[in-house]
Amino acid sequence: MKLSLEADYVKINLIIKGETFMDKQEMDPHVKTGLYGTPEINPDEQHHYLGNFRERIYVLQTRETAGEDRYMKAWEQQLHAHPDAVLYLNGHLNKNVLDQYIELAAKQQAKFTLKSDAIYDQSDVVAVLAAHSAVHQEPVSIEDTIDSSETSSGQKDEKKPWYKRLFS
């Protein structure tokens, strides 16, 4: 009881002096921000996509196919198709592979950003082309776009007449 009276006395003195004070409820968010940093929206998603939200991504590439020539041609097409987008590159890539992406971005006069935070060291994603606002594009992986275009062109060549499909 005495503690409550002392706290009320301090509040009254502060009010009389014209000073402001913060309740514990109001101070709690400030303390949390001080202890844990500014809260982020979907931090796991942002870490996976090199600091971007999934809905802003035009196309991305994973570590296993980084630097392959057929994908570099696809990147050139994507950079040409989306001149306002920003290319985000994982700074933990091999220098030779990273140079290929940087040269391509310079050739297309595209903006690019290197992400070299420690959290991206183990990331599977190495390159992301992202817009400033949501685009909701499918498929996102450049491997899927290349594979689907090769599959669709391959199916056109292998199309058989209906009677050959019936008896095979």
Q: What pLDDT, in 10s, does the model give residues 4-56?
A: 556 666 666 656 665 555 555 566 777 778 878 888 899 899 999 999 999 99
**Can you list the pairs that 40-43 forms with residues at least 24 positions away whose Cβ atoms lie under 8 Å?**
none
**Burial zone of 110 (CB within 10 Å; 0-12 exposed, 13-18 middle, 19+ buried):** buried
As a CATH number, domain 47-148 is 3.30.1330.30
Beta strand residue intervals within the chain, DSSP E: 57-62, 86-90, 111-115, 125-130
Q: How many residues does the chain have?
A: 168
Q: Chain centroid to CA 7: how far?
A: 48
For residue range 54-89, what is the model confidence (pLDDT) as tens digits? 999 999 999 999 989 889 999 999 999 999 999 999
Q: Is the pTM of this model over 0.95?
A: no
